[in-house]
Amino acid sequence: MPSSEEQINQIKNTRIYILDLVKDLSIEQLNKIPAGFNNNIIWNIAHLTAAQQNLCYSRSHLLPTVEDKHLFPFLSGTKPDSLLSEIEIKDIYNTFLASIDQFKIDYANNLFLKFDQWDKRYGIKLKNIEDAINFVPFHEGMHIGYIMALKKLV
């Protein structure tokens, strides 16, 4: 199994891949919610930042490193309530990458001393920060699938 540092690097590479996957989409395409879906492509990208922050920082009794606007509107169970502008989308993209860079620094500095165990709905038990780090690529991979499906419909 890769080390946690290698996993964090892989998360960053996955995020770069996701941004490349959507680079040619218009603001309208990023915001479109096709019939049968509850969210859109840009929500899925922002959700990955929010989920990683919630999982790694909040469960470790640390404050997330992103602004509230990148957290609460994109947590599980939420859905888009407005169209996002080009400026907001660029901010989401920047935060998407910068948050993982900060996480890598924070992990290297041993900030994650506590962790509230979490039994995830996929039969996965997260007992510590390393389990959380190992879960993030699985979660992001699921959302790559959603993004690819949405991309075909927009």
Segment 97-140, tens digit of pLDDT: 999 999 999 999 999 999 999 887 777 899 999 999 999 999 99
- Residue 65 per-residue DSSP state: S
**What's the pLDDT at 76?**
92
Segment 21-73, tens digit of pLDDT: 999 999 999 999 999 999 999 999 999 999 999 999 999 999 999 999 999 99
**What's the pLDDT at 1?**
72
Q: What is the largest CA-CA distance in the chain?
A: 45
Domain ranges of the chain: 4-153
CATH, range 4-153: 1.20.120.450
Segment 79-91, tens digit of pLDDT: 999 999 999 999 9
Tokens matching residue 127: 């007992």
pTM of the predicted model over 0.85: yes
- Region of 41 please: left (phi>0), alpha (psi -120 to 50) or beta: alpha
